[in-house]
Chains A and B, each alone.
Chain A
C-alpha cells in the first residue's frame, strides 16, 4: 500500500528552539494534511496543503509542500511548552479521494522548559 515516511520519530528541544518534522512519499500526493495529537488526546487537524510548492503559516508554524508534491515539512519557530505533542502528516494519494489518508508515523515533540 501507499506509505508516507515521517522523520524524526522523536525530537527533544529546549524551549525557544526551533523544530522541524519532515514527510516523504514515494508517489505523488493529491494533498497533504497535518494533525497534532496532545498527550492523552486525539488527533486535531492543523492544515491542508494542495498546491505544488505551497507554503502556509499559522503564527509560529510554517507548513511547506514540495514542488513535486512528494514531500512536506512542518517548522515551528521558538517552541513553547504548549507545542508538546505528536505531529502527524497524512497524505492523500492521487485518485484515492478523501476517503483514505495515509498517516506518517508521527514525530513526538518534547519541549524542555
Chain B
C-alpha cells in the first residue's frame, strides 16, 4: 500500500496553462505539505496544512493555490505556468506535534511530480 501518493508522476505543459497535482495519504496524518525541489536539488517548503487549515504559506506566487478537501488530501493548482515553475514537486505528511520536539514528527514524502514547462 502506498503511504503518500501523487498524480501525475510527470507533467509536461506549455507556458500559460493551468494544471493541478493531486496528493493523498493513507497514514492517518493530520498535517500535509507541498515542497518544491529545483534542478539543484534544493528542497523548499511551499505550503503546510493542518486539519485542512493553512498553516504555512511561504513566499510563493499566488498563482499557486493549495486545496485540502479533507485531512487525507492536499492538491496543488497552478495558474499561468511559467518556465521557472519547472521542478519536482513533493507532497509530504506527518503527525502534528504541537511543538513537542520529542513527538513522532517524521515526514513521509510522496514519489514526486516532475513538472516541465515548455
Is the CB of B101 closer than 8 A to any CB of chain A? yes
B106–A99 CB distance below 8 A: no
Interface centre among B95, B96, B106 (most CB of A within 10 A): B106
Known: A98-B95, A98-B96, A99-B96. A105 touches B106 (CB 8 A): no
Q: Does B34 contact A (CB under 8 A)?
A: no
Task: Report whether A100 and B45 are in contact in the complex, using a CB–CB cutoff of 8 Å.
Answer: yes
Contact B55 A99 (CB under 8 A): yes
**Among the listed A33, A86, A96, which residue makes an inter-chain contact with B106, where contact means beta carbons less than 8 Å apart?**
A33
- Note all chain B residues with C-beta closer than 8 A to A41: 111
Asked whether any CB of chain A lies closer than 8 Å to the CB of B108, the reply is yes
Q: Do the beta carbons of B102 and A50 come within 8 Å of each other?
A: yes
Instruction: Determine if B66 is an interface residue (Cβ-Cβ < 8 Å).
Output: no
The answer to whether A99 touches B110, judged by C-beta atoms less than 8 angstroms apart, is no
Q: Contact check: which of B42, B45, B50, B95 meets A101 at CB < 8 Å?
A: B45
On chain A, the residues within 8 Å of B108 by CB distance are: 45
CB closest residue in chain A, given B44: A103
A33–B105 touching, CB < 8 Å? yes
- The contact of A86 among B41, B56, B105, B110, by CB within 8 Å, is B41
Q: Which of A43, A45, A96, A98 contacts B103 (CB 8 A)?
A: A98
A95 within 8 A of B: yes
User: In the complex, what residues of A have CB within 8 A of residue B42's CB?
Assistant: 103, 105-106
A-B contact pairs, 20 of them (CB 8 A): A1-B58, A30-B99, A30-B101, A42-B109, A42-B111, A43-B43, A43-B92, A44-B109, A50-B101, A96-B99, A98-B31, A98-B99, A99-B31, A99-B96, A100-B45, A100-B56, A102-B45, A105-B40, A105-B41, A106-B41
Q: Which residues of B contact A (CB under 8 A)?
A: 31, 40-45, 48, 50, 55-56, 58, 90, 92, 94-103, 105-112
Among all A-B residue pairs, the 9 with the closest Cβ atoms: A98-B97, A30-B101, A45-B106, A98-B105, A97-B99, A42-B109, A31-B101, A103-B43, A43-B109
